[in-house]
Structure 1
Amino acid sequence: MTNVLLIGFSPDTIPGFEPGAVAASLDEGSKRFAELGMVEDQCLIGFGEPDSTAHATIVEHLEKKQYECVVVGGGIRKAAELLDLFQAVVNLVHWHQPQAAIAFNSGPTDSADWALKALEQKRNR
């Protein structure tokens, strides 16, 4: 089995988004992981929570088990005001799961496909 960690924002904390719609998209994305034979764990942090809390939550998930790939959600990396968080997330993944491929999605429903591409790139390096 291929273990993948998805890091993103908890749907009920994202300003301006309908939590139910975001949660439904995450569920759809989870189904895609299962279709591809991947085991997906989700690390969902609160939007706007203190960096120390977010970092601790991410590290806790990264230290639970070995991941072949870590997907960093679009919400974390798209907004310029979240650049510090995005940089911290990438570094935490690099430090705690150095063997893992890192993938970036365009939304919750295509995370598995981007993980698959990142794993393919890793195998072909």
Structure 2
Amino acid sequence: MNVNSAICLGKLWIVLISSEVIPLTLLFYYLITLNLFDAAVTWIGLENSFISELNPFMHAMYEINPFLFILIKVTLSIFLFLFVLFKVVPQSTLIKGITVFASAAYTAVVFMHVFWLVLVF
């Protein structure tokens, strides 16, 4: 990546977190969807030994009980949904930045899941 590309990405990041280009409510819905998809696909992958959980905390939860793993993922999605439902989605720049970063990171995780799904099936 050259300097101009980095500058463009930096400007895009600033636009995303400092304006309403992407409403935070929409990003919360996006994270809910990705989280539930990740929970289902990860559970299938772990149950069939297709993949291993790289997140140490979630790996420990899965080892304790696979249901606990799913419960945590679903609970996180419910909390995000409650913010949207009660119209109390935080609007601070910090929360916007964290949400945009989490959305980008989760998108990468979903692409990895799709990649191994294609390989397995």
What TM-score, normalized to structure 2?
Answer: 0.28
Larger relative contact order (C-alpha < 8 A, sep ≥ 6)? 2
What TM-score, normalized to structure 1?
Answer: 0.27
